[in-house]
């Protein structure tokens, strides 16, 4: 009898654990590469689980949360222009009743910087929102640090 109760409790705990797991359909990776003596590019890569999509930086008001990058000010580098993104897929999003640009599978964003010295540490954050055909997750912000060799 005791074994049956213990087994039932263990099964119940595993069942609740499965329901309590958070969805994390996007993984971020950060790298940097010098492109000349005084310039470098920071690459911010999002890899998405199948069926999920991440929105472009250029979403009109009234739509989903656009992907936004914030870079901390530093004495070791200056930003050169805006963060670059590839051409997104565009479709009508029924939930927002508008056409929206998005990325599936993976996307690489690129930020060019002008180096003030030999090395730099780039710190910042990316704020983003992901959706699939059934749901959207609340906007999330992830901080990052990348060393420029």
Other beta carbons within 10 angstroms of residue 54's beta carbon come to: 24
In the chain, the domains with their CATH numbers are: 24-148 (2.60.40.1250)
Q: Is the pTM of this model over 0.85?
A: no
Say what the pLDDT of residue 9 is: 37
Asked if pLDDT for residue 71 goes beyond 50, the answer is yes
pLDDT digits (tens, 9 = 90+) for 74-101: 999 999 999 999 999 999 988 889 999 9
Exposed/middle/buried for residue 94 (C-beta within 10 Å: 0-12, 13-18, 19+): exposed
Q: What is the mean pLDDT of residues 109-123?
A: 96
Q: How far apart are CA 102 and CA 110, in angstroms?
A: 16
Q: What is the mean pLDDT of residues 20-46?
A: 93
Question: Each residue of 10-47: b (16+ CB within 10 Å) or e?
Answer: eeeeeeeeeeeeeeebbeeebebebeeeeebbbebebe
Percent of the chain with pLDDT over 70: 86
User: Nearest 10 degrees: CA dihedral of 53, 59, 60, 64?
Assistant: 40
Mean pLDDT score of the chain, rounded to an integer?
Answer: 89
């Amino acid at each position: 009898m005791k074994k049956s109760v213990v087994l039932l409790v263990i099964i119940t705990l595993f069942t609740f654990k499965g329901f309590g797991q958070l969805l994390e359909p996007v993984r971020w990776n950060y790298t940097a590469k010098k492109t000349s003596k005084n310039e470098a590019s920071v690459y911010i890569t999002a890899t998405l689980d199948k069926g999920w999509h991440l929105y472009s930086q250029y979403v009109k008001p009234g739509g989903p949360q656009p992907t936004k990058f914030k870079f901390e000010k530093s004495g070791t580098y200056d930003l050169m222009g805006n963060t670059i993104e590839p051409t997104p897929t565009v479709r009508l999003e029924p939930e927002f009743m508008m056409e929206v640009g998005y990325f599936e599978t993976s996307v690489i964003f690129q930020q060019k910087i002008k180096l003030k010295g030999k090395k730099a540490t780039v710190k910042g954050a990316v704020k983003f929102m992901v959706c699939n055909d059934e749901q959207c997750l609340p906007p999330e912000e992830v901080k990052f640090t990348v060393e420029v060799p």
